Amino acid sequence: MDEKRKIKRRHLLAEVKIKPEGGVWIEATLMNINSGGIGLYAMKPLEKKDKVAIRITYIERSELKTVEEIPGVVRWVQPIGKHHAAGIMFIEKVTKRNFPVLSRCLDYARTGE
């Protein structure tokens, strides 16, 4: 299968919470990330094209970090057993100015340091 992504995703295992507009927080596990979005496995189904809020919690240098609440949109969904795989695109461009913690998370994912 040919790679369709223009920006390479980095594998990063992290806890994620996803909240569809007007919904409740859904537990998920982040599998990969890049400056454009994330790939995850959610405990409940998400709907393609839904606008969502995203909160990522990851470990950096033995410290738990929670990123800012990031707006996104569900680009694709795929049931996998009892879980639900999904790709979520960030609605806003991630910069050090508007999402400083997420920007550090992306730096960490790129370098592993």
- pLDDT tens profile 77-88: 999 988 899 999
Reduced to 3 states, what is the DSSP secondary structure of residue 25? coil
- Which pLDDT score, from 0 to 100, does residue 54 have? 95
Q: What does DSSP say about strands 70-80 and 26-34: parallel, antiparallel, or unpaired?
A: unpaired
Structure tokens at 44: 């409940």
Residue 110 vs residue 25, higher pLDDT: 25
Residue 34 has pLDDT above 50, yes or no: yes
Higher pLDDT, 102 or 112: 102
pTM of the model: 0.83
Tens-digit pLDDT profile for residues 52-68: 999 988 777 888 888 88
Q: Longest C-alpha distance within the chain, in Å?
A: 39
- Spatial separation of the C-alpha atoms in residues 73 and 88, rounded to whole Å: 6
Question: 76, 83, 82, 4: which is closest to 39 by C-alpha?
Answer: 76
Residue 44 is part of a domain; what is its CATH number? 2.40.10.220
Indicate whether 5 belongs to any domain: no
Would you state the pLDDT for residue 6? Answer: 59
Number of structural domains in the chain: 1
CB-neighbour burial class of residue 72 (10 A; exposed 0-12, middle 13-18, buried 19+): buried
Residue 27, domain extent:
10-111
* Residue pair 76/40 in contact by the 8 Å Cβ criterion: no
Give a yes or no: residue 48 inside a domain: yes
- Would you say residue 3 lies in a domain? no
- Does residue 22 lie in a domain region? yes
Rounded to the nearest integer, the mean pLDDT of the chain is 87
